Amino acid sequence: MRNRMNVLLGALLALSACGEGQPSPADVIGTYVAEIPNGVAQARTVTLSLAEGNAADMAVAYDSGGTSYTETGTWSLGQRGDVRVVLARDGFGPVSSDVTFRWAKGTLTAIAFDTVQWGSLGFALKRR
């Protein structure tokens, strides 16, 4: 019986150390990057920076010379540990990107996003 308790305790400690669950703002702050397919023609490199004070910037650069752009806005941490990023082109005007990510071990995986803008396959950004 004591052996089983030790195994159970070890398993619980391992799970608590793996970094899953509710992240803190300090866990989320950083720069994340991904290369995302864009239709048939070209890929784009997306760099998302989440800063203190809930400021967010996203730079999108097309690999084959398309028009690059920058969006600025805010990010927030939800009750379930999801990270919502709301951005506008050059920080002005209507919302141009509204994406909710799930954060895990330095990766932001999109779970709610505009499939016309980002494609139907989804995407993930990795901490740089």
CATH number at residue 117: 2.40.128.640
Q: Domain for residue 122, yes or no? A: yes
13 within some domain: no
105 lies in which domain range? 23-127
Spatial CB neighbours of 25, under 8 Å, sequence gap ≥ 6: 52, 77
61 vs 69: CA distance, rounded Å: 7
Q: Residue range 37-47: average pLDDT?
A: 78
Residue 18 lies in a domain: no
Q: Rounded mean pLDDT of the chain?
A: 83
Residue 84 maps to a domain = yes
User: How many structural domains are present in the chain?
Assistant: 1
- Taking only the tens place, the pLDDT of each residue in 77-88 is 998 889 999 999
Query: Residue 90: pLDDT band by 50, 70, 90 thresholds?
Result: confident
Look at residue 103 in the predicted model and tell me its pLDDT.
96
- Report if residue 71 sits inside a domain: yes
pLDDT confidence of residue 36: 87
Judge whether 91 lies within some domain.
yes
* Confidence at 4, pLDDT banded by 50, 70, 90: very low
Q: Any idea which residue has 């052996």 for tokens?
A: 3
Averaged pLDDT for residues 54-70? 89
How is residue 125 written in tokens? 């950004």
| SS3 per residue for the chain | CHHHHHHHHHHHHHHHHCCCCCCCHHHHCEEEEEEEEECCCEEEEEEEEECHHHEEEEEEEECCCCCCEEEEEEEEECCCCEEEEEEEECCCCCCCEEEEEEEECCEEEEEECCHHHHCCCCCEEEEC
pTM of the model: 0.80
The answer to whether residue 11 sits within a structural domain is no
- Which comes out higher in pLDDT, residue 89 or 30? 30
